[in-house]
Amino acid sequence: MTKLIAVVVGCFLLGYWLVSVFLPNLKRESPPQSPPRADPVQRPWFEILEVPSNAPLADIQEAYQRLRGKYTAEDIDRLPIGLRASFDEKLQELDRAYRDALYHRE
């Protein structure tokens, strides 16, 4: 009986060793990957905020708040997860445009 247990344990250890050595070396075909997204060309701040490039600061602030109001937290929460990312990107673009506008107005 002890010989049978020793043989079973030996086979188990040999099998474990074979799998741990040879299984990582097997190459699996990875699913096709989508091409990396190219960074979109950043538009100028005045195009994003929909104001002329020589707009006064008050007009820039008004345009920023008007556009920012389109993307409220309640609206984002109602969207499917896939669209939330595009809303977040749009908000980041608006924030960047507003920061650039303030920088260029100073």
Q: What is the pLDDT of residue 27?
A: 57
Q: Interhelix angle for 57-69 vs 81-105, to 10°? A: 170
Classify 26 as helix, strand or coil: coil
pLDDT in tens, 21-63: 766 665 555 555 544 444 556 889 999 999 998 999 999 999 9
The pTM is what?
A: 0.56
Domain boundaries, the chain: 42-105
Closest CA to 46 of 92, 90, 104: 104
Dig out the tokens for 37 from the structure.
């997204």
pLDDT in tens, 77-95: 777 877 888 888 888 899 9
Residue 81: in which H helix or E strand, if any? helix 81-105
Q: What is the pLDDT of residue 91?
A: 87
CATH of 42-105, one of 1.10.287.110, 1.20.120.80, 1.10.630.10, 3.20.20.70: 1.10.287.110
Q: What is the pLDDT of residue 81?
A: 79
First-to-last alpha carbon distance for the chain, in angstroms, is: 90
